[in-house]
Amino acid sequence: MENLIALLVAAPLLGAAVLLCGGRRLDKAGHWLGTLLAGASFAVGLALFADMLGRDADDRLMTQHLFSWIPVEGFQADLAFHLDQLSMTFVLLISGVGTLIHMYSIGYMEHDERRRRFFGYLNLFLAAMLLLVLADNYLLLYVGWEGVGLASYLLIGFWQHKPSAATAAKKAFLVNRVGDMGLSIAIMLMFTTFGTFAFGPVLGAADETSEGRLTAIGLMLLLAACGKSAQVPLQSWLGDAMEGPTPVSALIHAATMVTAGVYLIVRSGAIFNGAPDAQLATVVVGAVTLLFGAIVGCAKDDIKKALAGSTMSQIGYMVLAAGLGPIGYVFAIMHLVTHGFFKAGLFLGAGSVMHGMNDEVDMRKYGALRKHMPVTFVTFGLGYLAIIGFPGLSGFFSKDKIIEAAFAKGGTEGWILGGAALLGAGITAFYMTRVMVLTFFGEKRWQPDADGHAPHPHESPRSMTVPMVLLAFGSVFAGGFFSIGDRFLGWLEPVTGYTHGHPPVSALTVTLATMVVLATGVAIAWAMYGRRPVPVTAPRGSLLTRAARRDLFQDDFNHVVLVRGGEHLTRSLVYVDHTLVDGVVNGTAASVGGLSGRLRKLQNGYARSYAVSMFGGTAILIAATLLMRAV
């Protein structure tokens, strides 16, 4: 079965090549080809998964070596694949959810004349993401990492006729390049430390390496994760990336690309386990981001941007859990998988609402849509209950485990991290209830668009609703299925390891506290938006509300520190260049020129001048001789 691993990447890569190079002759069937090849990758993943289940827990690693990619003396990099329980989890999530999003896109992009190209980009993204999680060495992982960045740039800016979309794509690309520098430096440090990039030798020798070197590598890996997973301080691109088509938001910003950073940290667990300072930095980044994203999500009226803030926050939970080490690795991935179901479903639900509302994204102009879009209402509602952690649904099982793991860190640090995670759960319940109420409840607040066309809400076609229903099943049942008999823990523990923490309070106490916080968040949101008239134009609000609407001034900070700072640095460098560098160069040239001009006067061609020079020289020599004798 190992020989089938390459097909996971090859199928969508073939689709991308054919769709992007085949020309307009494929316009009528290109979307079906792209969806079929995405489904083929998922089918291969299921076959490999079935084979893996039939093996002992310690014998589930599958590898496939294709060829030596860079065979140089002392520098060996192979094109080889590494499929274990961790990468298999990502393979099924990426290809499975990716296939559903391909199916949804058939209806969503039906009237787009560039639909074939869109599906080519989707296939390219799947191929790059699968390469990232299947690579058996960090250098090949870097290729997939950059491929994901390229594909996301193409998809976010797909509607490039809109200046906002083109700007958002460039912003995402540039911010991610900052994080990519961290990954490239980490790979260089790995090679100088271990002499190789392969996972086995690098991670196997981590416990024999100095803490300082592991900390440096860990911090660079964290920087890379911050860029790809939109964590503080590289989170500013995610909200603007909603300018892309909604299926892009579901694929990239819910289930796949933004989880790449979590995969990188968990895969590199041996490095972080030996670098406590890097682990501390990771949990701080996760805790800050989960609160940052939640606060931003509270003030957004754009339904997709509210969900983008939610994504940032939920990925923060995963990064927090990953930073806890063996206590949290399994739960970080468990929440990643359940989040893939309910957040993809929420984004597709948002796209369905937009489809029925003339592409309107302002929730203040929705209201009462549950009567007109019943399937969307039910599937979106189940995703809403899952993400807030309603008892029995997926988010309840995965997010609660992270909160327990945070408290299990112990000491003051455990109380701070656990408290932050608990507070984040309450804020999540508030802003997601706000989204639900503004969209589906209350009185209708629909308004004609700029062309005077009033919206006529209607349910989306089956090509869009069927994927939403399937994702809703995952939102409801995945968490419980994983938790029965600690099934998911037993699945991942051989790869990630697991240490049972000792929280200062019982799991039941944490659960009850979470339920109280959740109910409080829901009640406050219902009181503010469900029992009062909702103005179509947002009121000015408090200082915190205005700050949240501006993404807590993240773009302003970047502009002042990076843009203006860069401008001042550039002006300073230009001044130094003109005054110091050019001054030295030009001054040297002028000195040489002046000296040569003076020396040139000594060679004027007149015999009398030469005679005077000879007489003067002779006089000097005689005077010097007489002086020396006198002394």
CB 177 within 8 A of CB 170: no
Position 254 scores a pLDDT of 67
User: 629: which 2 tokens?
Assistant: 């004798």
Instruction: Give the H or E element holding residue 236.
Output: none
- State yes or no: pLDDT of 124 exceeds 90: yes
Beta-bridged to residue 159, according to DSSP, are: none
Q: Report the 10 Å Cβ neighbour count for 444.
A: 14
DSSP string, 150-190: HHHHHHHTSSTTSHHHHHHHHHHHHHHHHHHHHHHHHHHHH
* Residue 599: Cβ-neighbour burial (10 angstroms; 0-12, 13-18, 19+): exposed
Task: Convert the pLDDT of each residue in 26-75 to its tens digit.
Answer: 988 999 999 999 999 999 999 999 999 999 888 899 999 999 888 887 78
Position 506 scores a pLDDT of 86
Over 511-565, what HEC string results? HHHHHHHHHHHHHHHHHHHHCCCCCCCCCCCCHHHHHHHCHHHHHHHHHHHHHHH
Provide the phi-psi class of 504: left if phi over 0, else alpha when psi is between -120 and 50, else beta.
Answer: alpha
User: 251: which 2 tokens?
Assistant: 């694929």
The number of angstroms, rounded, from the C-alpha of 58 to the middle of its chain's C-alpha atoms is: 31
Task: Convert the pLDDT of each residue in 164-204 to its tens digit.
Answer: 999 999 999 999 999 999 999 999 999 999 999 999 999 99
- State yes or no: pLDDT of 293 exceeds 70: yes
Q: 494 to each of 88, 137, 173, 294, 490, how far by Cα in Å?
A: 13, 19, 36, 33, 8
End-to-end CA distance of the chain: 102
Q: Is residue 448 very low, low, confident or very high in pLDDT (cuts 50, 70, 90)?
A: confident
- State yes or no: pLDDT of 540 exceeds 80: no
Q: Summarize the confidence of residues 327-337 as an average pLDDT.
A: 95
Position 500 scores a pLDDT of 85
- State yes or no: pLDDT of 598 exceeds 80: no
Q: Is residue 255 very low, low, confident or very high in pLDDT (cuts 50, 70, 90)?
A: low
Position 450 scores a pLDDT of 66
Q: Is residue 532 very low, low, confident or very high in pLDDT (cuts 50, 70, 90)?
A: confident
Q: Is residue 321 very low, low, confident or very high in pLDDT (cuts 50, 70, 90)?
A: very high
Label residues 307-338 b or e (16+ Cβ within 10 Å = b): bbbbbbbbbbbbbbbbbbbbbbbbbbbbbbbb
- State yes or no: pLDDT of 367 exceeds 80: yes
User: 175: which 2 tokens?
Assistant: 């911010």
Task: Convert the pLDDT of each residue in 12-26 to its tens digit.
Answer: 999 999 999 988 889
Position 503 scores a pLDDT of 79
Mean pLDDT check: name the lowest of 71-80, 288-297, 366-375. Answer: 71-80
Q: Is residue 116 very low, low, confident or very high in pLDDT (cuts 50, 70, 90)?
A: very high
Helix axes 115-134, 260-267, angle to 10 degrees: 10
Task: Convert the pLDDT of each residue in 197-251 to its tens digit.
Answer: 999 999 999 999 999 999 999 999 999 999 999 998 898 888 888 888 989 888 8
Q: What is the mean pLDDT of the chain?
A: 91
User: 234: which 2 tokens?
Assistant: 């590289």
Question: Locate tokens 């999003």: which residue?
Answer: 101
* Residue 551: Cβ-neighbour burial (10 angstroms; 0-12, 13-18, 19+): buried
Q: Summarize the confidence of residues 591-619 as an average pLDDT.
A: 79
The number of angstroms, rounded, from the C-alpha of 104 to the middle of its chain's C-alpha atoms is: 23
Number of H helices, E strands in the chain: 26, 2
Instruction: Give the H or E element holding residue 585.
Output: helix 582-600
Task: Convert the pLDDT of each residue in 137-159 to its tens digit.
Answer: 999 999 999 999 999 999 999 99
Q: Summarize the confidence of residues 436-442 as an average pLDDT.
A: 93
Candidates 315, 267, 269; CA nearest to 291 is: 315
Task: Convert the pLDDT of each residue in 475-515 to its tens digit.
Answer: 999 999 999 989 999 999 999 999 887 878 888 999 999 99
Alpha helices in 109-162 (DSSP H): 115-134, 138-156
Q: What are phi and psi of 136, to 5 degrees?
A: -100, 5
Q: Which residues contact 620 (CB under 8 A, 6 or more apart)?
A: none
- State yes or no: pLDDT of 377 exceeds 90: yes
DSSP string, 419-451: HHHHHHHHHHHHHHHHHHHHHHSSS------TT
Bond into 233 cis (ω within 30): yes
Separation between Cα atoms, residue 50 and residue 154, nearest integer Å: 35
Q: 75 to each of 139, 180, 188, 192, 269, how far by Cα in Å?
A: 11, 21, 12, 11, 24
Mean pLDDT check: name the lowest of 436-445, 479-488, 542-551. Answer: 542-551
DSSP string, 18-53: HHHHS-GGGTTTHHHHHHHHHHHHHHHHHHHHHHHH
CB 422 within 8 A of CB 389: no
- State yes or no: pLDDT of 344 exceeds 80: yes
Q: 175 to each of 126, 407, 521, 549, how far by Cα in Å?
A: 21, 33, 33, 21
Position 579 scores a pLDDT of 85
CB 421 within 8 A of CB 318: no
Give percent above pLDDT 70 in the chain: 98
Separation between Cα atoms, residue 433 and residue 292, nearest integer Å: 18
Q: Summarize the confidence of residues 607-621 as an average pLDDT.
A: 82
